[in-house]
Chains A and B, each alone.
Chain A
Amino acid sequence: MIRDYFKILVVDLETGTGKVENIEGRDIYIGGSGLGAHLFNLYGYPERPWDNPEQPLIFSIGPLTGLFPLMSKTVCSFKSPYHDQFAESHAGGRSALALKFADYDALVITGKARRLSCLSIGMRHLEVRDIQFLAGKDVFTTGKILRKMYPGSGHRSILRIGSAGENLSAMACINADTYRHFGRLGSGSVMGSKNLKAIVIQGDGSFALPENKSYPEVYRKVYEKMTATDMMSKYHNLGTAANLSTLNELKSLPWRNLQATADEKIDNITGEKFADEALLRNGACAGCPVGCIHIGFVREKFMEQNQYLYRQVAYDYEPIFSTGSMLGVTDPFAVLGIMDEIEKVGLDVMSGGVALAWATEAFEKGLISEKETIVPLAFGNSDSYKKAVMYLGEARNEFYKLLGSGSLVAASKYGGEDFACVLGQEMAGYATGETFYVAESLGFRHSHLDSSAYSWDQKHDTKDENEICDVLIAEESARSYVTSMVACLFGRGVYTLEQLTECLESVGYDKIAENMQESGDRIQALRWKTRFDTGYNPDKIKIPKRYLNVTTWKGKTDPVFLDRLKEKYASRIKELVSAESLKNLKIDIKSK
């Protein structure tokens, strides 16, 4: 065990100074999601708006980060510009290990820098530097310049934003080490609102390991499961992109703003197709031998006489859905080209792609015209999309500014709310059925990863809302535990509760291993309580009409069942934060 409390660094950008704080509660809040919510309760202001300079931006890791493979994620907690409520986003890259080796369990950033700045921290340093000269620079250029300005290649993490974050778009992501992202719900704009262009975390410390025989042995066992068995081959081989053909076959892949759920053009953008034609190599988050990052390439002719340039773009299932099928673009290189532009401006790829899909249909229906969109939008027209992405990131005009605040915000002005594919936020790529529509709409992160709704839909055709809610609530509790350990969710097959117990015990965290079920429940409730404190109301969330037209392998959406399920799930979430439940779980945090 490295320590039985949390050691966190609180940086105030206003003064450029920080403070190391030791916080109790390791056994209760564990790390990641739990720690993030706990710290928001200590440092956040539920009543103040998201861009109030005092609101904290929190990055937290887990007790086993660095100690075991795939313990490679960081949780970012913040008040979201999308809906002004408490939110969470997860990313890998090197961020988690860099924080660990800088010797912190969490980094809390408050205040607003006077000019655009970069925060750099490490085991032995803390500095806020003026980098106003990087204003408006894209994510790649910013990364390149920062790499030269700061030492520690290979053992540091560079988090940065692009124009979308600087322009306070509700869809701006934080790019983590080029190929990973704190994607959803606008964390990039929280950085933007703090005048924080980048964070460089240098992992230059080292720690003594427990002097027992069991730690290296347990490590070896876990490592072997992660590499030598076929448990992880799905992620290593085609990666999540393998899902494209599966979901298309199940009539669950959104096409052209969800006007269809399957299309024979799928053959051009399957995981196999990308692997055969566009895959350049694989990459990994630090500490992960699985290597699920698939890096493809785009090649562009920029001059006659065969003058080409090429760029590398990481792809996954979600980015291909949102810039491919959703926009009707069915050439792998065109898809990668759009993703590349999205990366540059620092938008969340799912939100950006889905918002442009709505804009395209609105354009086709004559609700908007080139006066608003500047370029003609049409499904399949990747050249237009590349430009539109830039305008969206830059918030070029009023239309793009509104669209950057969310499709429904734009639709409330221009019309077309019925066909906005918004489930709490711009949808993830699983038009699998009622369970998923409800779960993503109301879910804590509005993410397909909050619970297993999308996989439930793929396997069950029952309409028992009580049974479904039991599954969703239980799954969310289990995942709350895992995301507090901050294991990569891809490792969940290996990290069973028994395996986690063995890992925790081998490094002396016996107490965290006790009562995992209760810990999961408590963290789940704490996160929801924090969310409600910042204004969450499940009854106010609407599921747009478009979802009633959707047909999956189960047939058309059943509107009566959809409503019933939504109501039930909302009531179950409210139960989680009832006075009695909070008392049972011993949650008595007073918010500021």
Chain B
Amino acid sequence: MKILTAARMERCIGCHSCSFACARLVHKLLSWNTAGIRIASSGGLSTGFEARVCLACDPAPCAAVCPSGAMVARKKGGGVRFKRDLCIRCGKCAEACPVDAIYLDLKSRPYVCIHCGRCVKFCPHECLELRDSEDKNPAGEGKP
């Protein structure tokens, strides 16, 4: 399985092109919130940026707490699949996520990265990378 990593965030310029791509292409929305990846400054623009994105936990705490079977662990490689029809909007998944990767919209619908990698091409600074989940030592990690 593939997973998305925000491997080189030191390079990020805060353009939000990745979030817009995800919202547009995956969720068919115009937004910088309702997306699998969200960019925040780490405390004002002078401190650089961080990506709020699913780390593909294995096992996934968000799936473990989902009471309705909407958030389910992927078969391999960590991370989750989200079945919108089964979601009762209790928000437990977002609460359980240790890195705030799940966004609840104004109607408490969860948005989470599905590791499809469609955002990657839209990052002008190659901050993002889609890689095999088995690859423990990805090329870009740690290298600016």
Of the stretches B35-43, B58-66, B85-93, the one at the interface is B35-43
Partner of A283, one of B17, B20, B33, B45: B45
Inside 8 A of B124's CB, which chain A residues have their CB?
227, 289-291
Q: Which of A124, A155, A281 contacts B106 (CB 8 A)?
A: A124
Closest chain A residue to B28, Cβ basis: A209
List residues of chain B with CB within 8 A of the CB of A312. Answer: 46
Cβ of A39 within 8 Å of any chain B Cβ, yes or no, is no
Q: Which residue of B lies closest to A97 (CB)?
A: B32
Known: A223-B17, A284-B15, A289-B15. A67 touches B32 (CB 8 A): no
Pick from A124, A178, A206: contact of B44, CB below 8 A.
Answer: A178
- Smallest CB gap from A211: residue in B: B28
B134 interfacial contact with A, CB 8 Å: no
Residue of B14, B17, B23, B106 ringed by the most chain A CB atoms within 10 A = B14
Q: Which residue of B30, B38, B125 is within 8 Å of A291 (Cβ)?
A: B125
Contact with B along A255-288 (1 / 0, CB 8 A): 0000000000000000000000000011111111
> Which residues of B lie under 8 Å from residue A288 when comparing CB positions?
15
The reply to whether the CB of B108 lies closer than 8 angstroms to some CB of chain A is no
Q: How big is the A interface, by class? A: 35 or more
How many angstroms between the C-alpha atoms of A247 and B31 in the bound complex? Answer: 41
Are B32 and A178 in contact (CB-based, < 8 A)? no
Residue numbers in A under 8 Å from B24 (CB-CB): 209, 216, 219
Contact status B17-A153, CB under 8 Å: no
A293 to B15, CA, bound (A): 11
Cβ contact within 8 Å between A101 and B125: no
Interface residues of B in 98-126 (CB under 8 A from A): 105-106, 122, 124-125
Q: What distance in Å separates the Cβ of B111 from its nearest Cβ neighbour in chain A? A: 9
A282 to chain B, nearest CB (A): 5
| Docked-complex contact A205 and B15, CB < 8 angstroms | no
Closest Cβ–Cβ distance, residue A505 to chain B (whole Å): 17
B25 engages A216 (CB within 8 Å):
yes
B72 beta carbon closer than 8 Å to chain A: no
In the complex, chain A residues 187-231 whose Cβ is within 8 Å of any chain B Cβ: 203-209, 211, 216, 219, 223, 227
Contact partner of B13 among A147, A204, A208, A284, CB < 8 A?
A: A284
Q: Which residue of B lies closest to A155 (CB)?
A: B32
A124-B106, A289-B124 given; A207·B15 CB < 8 A: no
| B residues less than 8 Å from A67 (CB atoms) | 30
B41 touches A206 (CB 8 A): no
Given contacts A178-B44, A219-B24, contact A291 B32 (CB under 8 A): no
> Does B5 interact with chain A (Cβ within 8 Å)?
no
Chain B nearest Cβ from A225, distance in angstroms: 12
Closest approach, in angstroms, between the C-beta of A207 and any C-beta of chain B? 4
CA distance A67 to B30 in the complex (A): 7
Q: Measured between alpha carbons, how far is A283 from B47 in the docked complex, in Å?
A: 11
Cβ-based interface call for B1 (8 A)? no
Distance to closest chain A CB from B7 (angstroms): 17
B40 partner, pick from A154, A205, A206, A295, beta carbons under 8 A: A154
Q: Is the CB of A206 within 8 A of B15?
A: no
Residues of chain A within 8 A of B125, CB atoms compared: 291
| CA gap between A288 and B45 in the complex, in Å | 15
Q: Using C-beta atoms within 8 Å of the partner chain, give the interface range for chain B.
A: 20 to 34
Q: Which residues of B contact A219 (CB under 8 A)?
A: 24
Give Cα A498–Cα B23 distance, bound, in whole angstroms.
Answer: 26
- With a CB–CB cut-off of 8 A, which chain B residues contact A353? none
B16 at interface by CB-CB < 8 Å? yes
For residue A186, CB closer than 8 A to chain B, the reply is no
Nearest Cβ distance between residue B79 and chain A, in whole angstroms? 22
Across the interface, do A206 and B31 meet the contact criterion of CB distance under 8 Å? yes
With a cutoff of 8 Å between Cβ atoms, the chain A residues found around residue B15 in the complex are 284-289, 291
B24, B33, B105, B124 — most chain A CB neighbours (10 Å): B124
**Contact, CB under 8 Å: A206 / B105:** yes
With contacts A206-B105, A209-B24 known, is A282 near B40, CB below 8 A? no
Minimum Cβ distance to chain B for residue A421 (Å): 32
Closest partner residue, chain B, to A227 (CB atom)? B124
Which residues, 136 to 172 on A, are CB-close (under 8 Å) to B? 143-144, 147, 153-155
A101 to B45: give the CA distance in the assembly, Å: 20
A247–B46 Cα gap in the complex (Å)? 31
Contacts of B45 in A (CB 8 A): 177-179, 283
Selected contact of A209 from candidates B17, B30, B32, B39, CB within 8 Å: B30
Task: Chain B residues near A97: list those with CB within 8 A.
Answer: 16, 32
- Assess whether A375 is interfacial by the CB under 8 Å rule: no
- Expressed in whole angstroms, the Cα–Cα distance for A286 and B24 within the complex equals 15
Asked whether A144 and B44 contact (CB < 8 A) given A154-B38, A289-B17, the answer is: yes
Q: Given A206-B23, A206-B29, A206-B105, are A154 and B13 neighbors across the interface (CB < 8 Å)?
A: no
A36 vs B28: C-alpha distance when bound (angstroms): 31
Tell me the smallest distance from the CB of A231 to a CB of chain B, in Å. Answer: 13
B10 nearest in chain A by CB position? A281
- Which of B30, B39, B44 is A207 in contact with, Cβ under 8 Å? B30
The answer on a CB contact under 8 Å between B122 and A205 is no
Please name all residues of chain B whose beta carbon is closer than 8 Å to the beta carbon of A284 when the two chains form the complex: 13-15
Residues on A with beta carbons closer than 8 Å to the beta carbon of B33: 101, 155, 203-204, 206
Cross-chain contact A101 with B44 (CB below 8 angstroms) = no
**Residue from B14, B17, B29, B106 in contact with A123 in the complex, judged by beta carbons closer than 8 Å:** B106
Q: Chain B residues near A144 (CB, 8 Å)?
A: 44
Chain B residues numbered 37-85 whose CB sits less than 8 Å from any CB in chain A:
38-41, 43-46, 48-49
A154-B40, A283-B13, A289-B124 given; A205·B31 CB < 8 A: yes
Interface residues of A in 535-561 (CB under 8 A from B): none
A66 proximal to B (CB < 8 A)? yes
Q: How far is the CA of A144 from the CA of B30 in the complex (A)?
A: 29
- B34: min CB distance to chain A, Å: 5
CB neighbours (8 Å) of B38 from chain A are 154-155
Interface residue? A319 (CB, 8 A) = no
Question: Would you give 22 A-B contacts (Cβ < 8 Å), ordered by A?
Answer: A66-B30, A69-B17, A97-B16, A147-B43, A154-B39, A155-B32, A155-B40, A178-B46, A203-B32, A206-B23, A206-B29, A206-B34, A207-B29, A207-B30, A209-B29, A211-B28, A216-B25, A219-B24, A282-B13, A287-B17, A291-B15, A291-B125
Listed in ascending order, the chain B residues whose CB lies under 8 Å from chain A are 13-17, 20, 23-25, 28-34, 38-41, 43-46, 48-49, 105-106, 122, 124-125
Residues of A within 8 A of B (CB): 2, 66-67, 69, 97, 101, 123-124, 143-144, 147, 153-155, 177-179, 203-209, 211, 216, 219, 223, 227, 281-291, 293, 295, 312
A-B pairs, 7 with minimum CB distance: A206-B31, A154-B40, A284-B15, A291-B13, A289-B124, A284-B13, A207-B30
